């Protein structure tokens, strides 16, 4: 029986969907609505520097970005595969989708390390 890597990608898809659905709306609400409307005081430079200096914040942002990108990659791959019926390009699409998500995750990790 041939082993498949599909359960691994589906697990990352599920984790990315959950973390994106839980945290991205909160971040968008705070940054895009609550602060501009004055419901929450805008953080100053020192506060943000301390917040992003924390390794816990960096790990959270790396997980959020990486899992969201992997969620996108899996969804986009199967949209092309099933929705547009380009099954003959399955391997090429998988390489570009997951490769792009991994490269984006590595770039995010690099930039978060520089902060």
Is residue 93 in a domain?
yes
17 close to 78: Cβ distance less than 8 angstroms = no
Is residue 1 in a domain?
no
Q: pLDDT digit of tens for each residue in the chain (115 aa)?
A: 788 888 888 898 999 999 999 999 999 999 999 999 999 999 999 999 999 899 999 999 999 999 999 999 999 988 888 888 887 888 898 899 999 999 999 999 999 998 7
Is residue 108 in a domain?
yes
For residues 44 and 41, what is the distance between their CA atoms, to the nearest angstrom?
A: 9
Range of the structural domain that residue 70 is part of: 10-114
**What is the pLDDT at residue 102?**
95
Is residue 90 in a domain?
yes
Number of domains in the chain: 1
| pTM of the predicted protein model | 0.84
Is residue 23 in a domain?
yes
**What is the pLDDT at residue 2?**
80
Grouping H, G, I as helix, E, B as strand and the rest as coil, residue 49 is: helix
**What is the pLDDT at residue 104?**
96
For residue 66, the domain's CATH number is 1.20.1300.10
């Amino acid at each position: 029986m041939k082993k498949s890597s599909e359960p691994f990608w589906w697990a990352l898809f599920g984790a990315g969907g959950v973390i994106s659905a839980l945290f991205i709306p909160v971040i968008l609400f705070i940054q895009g609505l609550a602060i501009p409307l004055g419901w929450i005081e805008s953080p100053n430079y020192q506060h943000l520097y301390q917040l992003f200096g924390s390794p816990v914040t960096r790990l959270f942002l790396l997980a959020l970005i990486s899992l969201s990108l992997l969620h996108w990659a899996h969804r986009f791959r199967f949209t092309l595969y099933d929705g547009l019926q380009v099954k003959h390009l399955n391997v090429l699409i998988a390489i570009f989708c997951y490769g792009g998500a991994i490269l984006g995750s590595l770039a995010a990790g690099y930039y978060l390390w520089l902060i």
